[in-house]
Amino acid sequence: MAKTGSDDLIVIARAVRPHGLKGEIVAELLTDFPQRFEDVDELIIVSPSGERNAVALEDFWFQKDRVVLKLAGYDDVDRAKTLVGHAFAVPESDRVPLEPDEFYDWELEGCTVKVGEKSIGEVRSVMRTGGAEILVISDEAGKEQLIPLAESIVVKIDPAAKTIVVDPPEGLLEL
């Protein structure tokens, strides 16, 4: 899931194309919890320019690895086409709770990464490679570092303080 703007929204899907003739829209899933749609009555449509509009979710179903959404007021293919490229979000307060040692990517992105008290950069993104999660960190000069999100390396994560403390093995930061 991705977090948007300053109003604390979490993007859970992005419109890809219209579906059928009744205004349904196919959307790419951006949530690890697709079952969440069962409890959603309203989605917030976020345009590429950042405009927001709440709309009732009338129905949904899954099609392969995507979700098809039927939204109130979108009753034909032309109206549905206007949504292509828009994001569908829910308030952060409606996020699915995680275990205490689990974090959403957007909670880690923007965190300052430190070795002891020395900052080595900021988390730009979280990369997934075959079951492993890797923090992609950029320093002030724009140089990129990759640090595995492993218990043996990541000592402390404090998303509220936007800090992550790591104890990298010798040579990791020189790669």
**8 Å CB contact between 1 and 9:** no
- Cα–Cα distance, 109 to 175 (Å, whole number): 22
Chain segment 153-168, per-residue pLDDT in tens: 899 999 889 999 998 8
For residue 5, is pLDDT > 60? no
Chain segment 67-104, per-residue pLDDT in tens: 999 999 999 999 999 999 999 999 888 777 778 888 88
Q: What are the phi and psi torsion angles at 133 (to 5°)?
A: -110, 135
| Overall pTM surpassing 0.95 (yes/no) | no
- Cα–Cα distance, 128 to 106 (Å, whole number): 14
Q: Position 62: which residue type?
A: F
